[in-house]
Amino acid sequence: MTHKITASHIGRVIWSEFKPALLASFWICLLAFPIMTLSINPTNQSFKFSLDRMPYLALGTFVLSILWRFFLKRRAFIGITKAVHQSEGLPEDLRKGPKPSWLTVVKASRYRRQGIYVLLAIMAILPFISSPYTVNVMVTALIYVTLGLGLNVVVGVSGLLNLGYIAFYAIGAYTYGLLNHYFGLSFWVCLPLGGLTATLMGLLLGFPVIRLSGDYLAIVTLSFGEITRLVLNNLTVTRGPRGISYIQPAGFFGIDLNGAPKEFLVNYLRVDPAMDINKIFTYFIILCLVIVTIIFVFRLENSRLGRAWLAMREDEVACQAMGINRTRAKLTAFALGSTWAGLAGVVFASQITFINPASFSFLGSILVLSIVVLGGMGSIPGVILGAIVLSALPEQLRFFSQYRMLLFGALMVLMMVFRPGGLIQSTREVYIHKTNGNGKGDGNGTARLEALTGAPKPEATGERP
């Protein structure tokens, strides 16, 4: 069957594609009309009206809208072709099944262990060859990794939307800040104390919200975050908005790291002379904390408690029917998730040596939540990548100065549309890759079970029952 493609036909297709884009462009121009055309001159208290910028806005929106629709269509199209490839009635070579992602390749690799060692070695060398600025950025990134992994326990694994997570970070930071300021307690004493305080506060918040879930939980946690910030802002002990300054950095057996050790490092290892060696030490502390967190969270997820959390996230009724104590599951998720925020807070306070309530705004909670969502809910490598991307990206985008946050928001929206599962999706087999038997079964469950439990790697044969 061949149709003659006429000019009017093409015209109609183009029109159907362009109409929504034109509408979008028109709509945006209308919305932005006042802010794009009027500019206020504060010196002589007048304002100027000019249409100069409107064409750019209109054209820009139009092009973006076309691109947007194109990529959405492409995505839908890819989805269809994938489904077709997996369906029956195609030649064998077309039914290969989904290609393994690079992540599965890395995972299955025989060199995985070596890879981790190499990565650790690079991480260990990095601060000695970087600039002070880079080390600072890296410490911040690692703090966010810890925060992300902690919140992932609450949101990603247990499915409890916590919008006040930054409060626990603040509690950790203030625990160290206050104890150091008033009693001169050291970092190493305060690190466990900060974690503990945050855990207790997590429990405290947990009790009233046991019966809540979804939207209600989100609102209560959000309020908790804001209340914490306001309390810190108004108490005299916390010195209100002035915050606490001159917090000691973490000590290293009482040795002044910027003395002899620095001389050695600068002379023999060519470390940047402007470097504050305390920062390098902080880097290693947070690196260790991240490693411990990863190990801990990983083991937790595969433990009995982790399964209870998963069940709670999936279905609360069924979770109870399985004999899981929902109350305990919820409280432990809140408490343990907060622990990491507390620990990260202590490190944060020692890193920047000055804290005030403004460092712990609602935006912070949102950033950490974005890390978890962008990285991939419930996926540990995803959250790590998300934290690195989200803490480093704003630095990279500094070039765009005032449009930085706008761009950041746009990137997030794009991410969520085109990769809703996050950068690295939680690895759960959704589609069956390997099937034995013909679906009706031959009563030979044993043999099949052997195949299922004995062969951990499902092979993508693409065959259908």
As a whole number of angstroms, the distance between CA 322 and CA 164 comes to 30
Stretch that binds other proteins, among 84-92, 97-105, 168-176, 431-439 (CB under 8 A): 431-439
Segment near other proteins (CB under 8 A), from 37-45, 55-63, 119-127, 446-454? 446-454
For residue 214, the minimal CB distance to other proteins (Å) is 16
Please count the residues of this chain forming the interface with other proteins, following the rule CB under 8 A: 39
- DSSP calls for 405-439: HHHHHHHHHHHHHH-TT-SS------S-----S-S
User: 256 or 315: whose CB is closer to other proteins?
Assistant: 315
Q: Which two tokens stand for residue 84?
A: 């077709």
Could you tell me the sign of the dihedral formed by the alpha carbons of 348, 354, 355, 361, in that order? Answer: negative
Nearest residue (CB) to other proteins, 115 versus 465? 465
How wide is the angle at C-alpha 250 spanned by C-alphas 245 and 251, nearest 5°? 120
Q: Which of 121, 322, 358, 405 binds other proteins (CB under 8 A)?
A: 322
Diameter over CA atoms, the chain? 89
Residue 431 interacts with other proteins (CB under 8 A): yes or no:
yes
Minimum Å gap between C-beta 458 and other proteins is: 6
Q: If we measure between CA atoms, which residue out of 349, 341, 337 comes closest to residue 179?
A: 349
Q: What minimum distance in Å lies between the beta carbon of 456 and other proteins?
A: 11
Contact flag: residue 437 with other proteins (CB under 8 A): yes
440 is an interface residue for other proteins by CB under 8 A? yes
Q: Which is nearer to other proteins, 309 or 340 (CB)?
A: 309
For the chain, the first-to-last Cα distance in angstroms comes to 35
3-state secondary structure at position 48: strand
- Could you tell me the CA-to-CA distances from 455 to 99, 439, 459 in Å, in that order? 19, 19, 9
Q: Which of residues 285-304 bind other proteins (CB under 8 A)?
A: 304
Q: Is 458 in the site for other proteins (CB under 8 A)?
A: yes
Instruction: Count Cβ neighbours within 10 Å for each residue of 137-164 and write b for 16 or more, e otherwise.
Output: bbbbbbbbbbbbbbbbbbbbbbbbbbbb
Binding status of residue 448 toward other proteins by CB under 8 A = yes
One of 5, 30, 51, 430 touching other proteins (CB under 8 A): 430
Measured CA to CA, the distance from residue 77 to residue 75 in angstroms comes to 5
Q: Rule CB under 8 A: say whether 442 interacts with other proteins.
A: yes
Query: Whose Cβ is closer to other proteins: residue 257's or residue 329's?
Result: 329
Those residues with Cβ within 8 angstroms of residue 74's Cβ, 6 or more apart along the chain or in another chain: none
Amino acid found at 343: L
20 makes contact with other proteins (CB under 8 A): no
Residues between 353 and 412 that touch other proteins (CB under 8 A): none
CB of 306 to other proteins, least distance (A): 11
* Cβ at position 304, least distance to other proteins in Å: 7
Residues of this chain that interact with other proteins (CB under 8 A) are 304, 307-308, 310-311, 313-315, 317-318, 320-325, 428-437, 439-443, 445-446, 448-449, 452-453, 458, 465
